Amino acid sequence: MRYSALLTDLYELTMLAGYHDQGMHERPAAFDLFFRNNPFRGGYAVFAGLDNALSFLEDLSFDGTELAYLESLKIFKPAFLSYLSDFRFRGTITAPAEGTVVFGGEPLLTVEGGLAEAQFVETALLNIINFQTLAATKAARIKVAAGDATVLEFGLRRAQGPDGGLSCARAAFIGGVRSTSNVLAGMQYGIPVRGTHAHSWIMAFPDELTAFRTYADQFPNSCVLLIDTYDTLKSGLPNALVVARELKERGYHLAGVRIDSGDLAYLSRQVRAAFDEAGFPEVQIVASNELDENVIESMRREGSRIDIYGVGTRLATCAGVGGGALGGVYKLVHMDGEPKLKLTSDVAKATLPDRKKVLRAIAPDGTFILDLIALKDEEILPGALVFDPANPVQHVRIPEQARLIDLRQMVMKNGSRCAPTPDLESSADLAAQQLQLLPEGCLRLVNPHIYKVSISTGVNTLRLKLMNRVQSKYRN
């Protein structure tokens, strides 16, 4: 799929026109893309969307229809439209790998290039990275809550538009939800697709047993029966038991049953007991109906017997406290060789100026100790003093025995990918590994442990200096 170059806010184009007219469009600039707070008031986020973002950048150009539309707006000069007809992104992108566990305040993408190109891509990059990172994080929370159970994403019908469903399936895979009902996501991203039948299948036959038998005949190797159309325990369960016996006689086995209403925890225990008693311990129980990480955690706590959670609406729309949208922003941090800082009314929220790197301090046992945002060329060694960005007098030392790794790498140079693109499976594996290495309590769904994200002496000093300079200029 080609992303249109017009997938942008008009103000990116008006600014671009202004920079072009002023001859400023090629002046060197750097922007950071980051979010301030972990989504869902949680302890982490899972970075996703990079591959799509890079595809957007690689393909970025204005076609004839798009240029004609811009001309019709009658706000752009011919010289600018002619510049746009040759416009390409030729900048540099530094980013973590998809699946990396990241935290509020850390630069995710750093975009370096001419002022015009680096500014212009803001809206599309935010759109792609914000939603996929949000969805990967939601999926990770759900998978963590589900423990060893499988989670299936099937939110397409409630997703925010066709692509909401597609992007979500991709990001959810990275977060740990490794199958989907979305057939297009299956084709486009190679995600395993799953599905059985709806209540309407049952209603299309004279009775439930006939509907079950017909479905089992069709898919004897992968038959999952939806047992709550009429009455889960009085009708669906006994009929499913009949079909389980019939399949067994024919050398197959019933793959599972799905419960989509009622008290899922209670029903799952009853259904489990009935299948076990009848000699079908292999029949899996699928549950669905407005599930999310909180419902799953609470059902597991009370001893539900669910093997597969089908999660729809609340995953597809990233619902929940602090959910719905990731508040990613895109800020100018460097231009013409000078660091740049954006103040806000809350001083603790002033941006981190200059081009930077993100280091992770790792303990000898592999667990994560803290992340550190340092200047790009600043030397950081174990033992170094690091500061709390919200409170510059608070500081700690990186433990001497820690190992420091750079979380990001250059993935695009002069507009072309310059690093291999990992497949989705690797990204999902990376996320699963990293989630296990977080400090205890970071995975907690509510009021989690807050992982420490610090800034280096270099960033702290530069930021204070620039804050004083801006404040003395504008606030006296």
What residues numbered 64-123 form the site for a second copy, per CB under 8 A? 65-66, 69-70, 73, 75, 115, 119, 122-123
**Strands ordered across the beta sheet of 256-259:** 150-153, 308-311, 284-288, 256-259, 224-226
Total binding residues toward a second copy, as defined by CB under 8 A: 105
CB of 82 to a second copy, least distance (A): 17
Applying the rule CB under 8 A, the residues between 275 and 294 that interact with a second copy are none
Q: Which window, 105-113, 193-201, 272-280, 461-469, contacts a second copy (CB under 8 A)?
A: 193-201
Q: How many Å apart are CA 300 and CA 321, to the nearest integer?
A: 21
- Compute how many other C-beta atoms are within 10 angstroms of the C-beta atom of residue 452: 16
Q: Which residues 243-262 are close enough to bind a second copy by CB under 8 A?
A: 261-262
Residue with smaller CB distance to a second copy, 102 or 443: 102
Report the nearest approach of a second copy to the CB of residue 25 (Å). Answer: 11
Looking at 24-135, which runs of residues are DSSP E strands?
28-34, 45-46, 92-96, 101-102, 109-114
CB 454 within 8 A of CB 373: yes
Residue selected from 50, 111, 128, 442 as contacting a second copy according to rule CB under 8 A: 128
Residues in 141-160 at the binding interface with a second copy, rule: CB under 8 A: 154, 156-160
Choose one: 101-109, 191-199, 411-419, 425-433; the region binding a second copy (CB under 8 A).
191-199
The reply on whether position 124 binds a second copy by CB under 8 A is: yes
Cα R_g (the chain), whole angstroms: 26
Q: Would you say the C-alpha torsion 398, 427, 411, 95 has a positive or negative sign?
A: negative
Per CB under 8 A, 11 contacts a second copy: yes
Contact flag: residue 195 with a second copy (CB under 8 A): yes
Q: Name 369's Cβ contacts closer than 8 Å, sequence gap at least 6.
A: 361, 362, 363, 398, 399, 402, 439, 452
Q: For residues 374 and 131, give the distance between their C-alpha atoms in angstroms, rounded to a whole number.
A: 27
Which residue, 107, 89, 109, is CA-closest to 8?
89
475 binds a second copy (CB under 8 A): yes
Binding mask 211-240 for a second copy (x = CB under 8 A): ---xx--xx--x------xxx--xx-----
Determine, following the binding rule CB under 8 A, whether residue 196 of this chain makes contact with a second copy: yes
Binding to a second copy by CB under 8 A, coded x per residue (else -) over 294-333, reads -------------------x--xxxx----xxxxx-xxx-
Residue with tokens 């010289």: 79
Instruction: Tell me whether residue 197 or residue 360 sits nearer to a second copy (CB atom).
Output: 197
Minimum separation from the CB atom of position 202 to a second copy (A): 9
DSSP 8-state assignment for residue 286: E
Query: Interacting stretch for a second copy, rule CB under 8 A, among 137-145, 200-208, 419-427, 432-440?
Result: 200-208
364: Cβ–Cβ under 8 A, 6 or more apart, which residues?
Answer: 401, 403
For the residues of 339-376, what is the DSSP string, one character each?
E-----SSGGG----S-EEEEEEE-TTS-EEEEEEEET
Q: Point out which span in 203-211, 367-375, 411-419, 429-437 binds a second copy (CB under 8 A).
A: 203-211
**C-beta of 365 vs 474, nearer to a second copy:** 474
Read off the tokens for 37: 């707070």
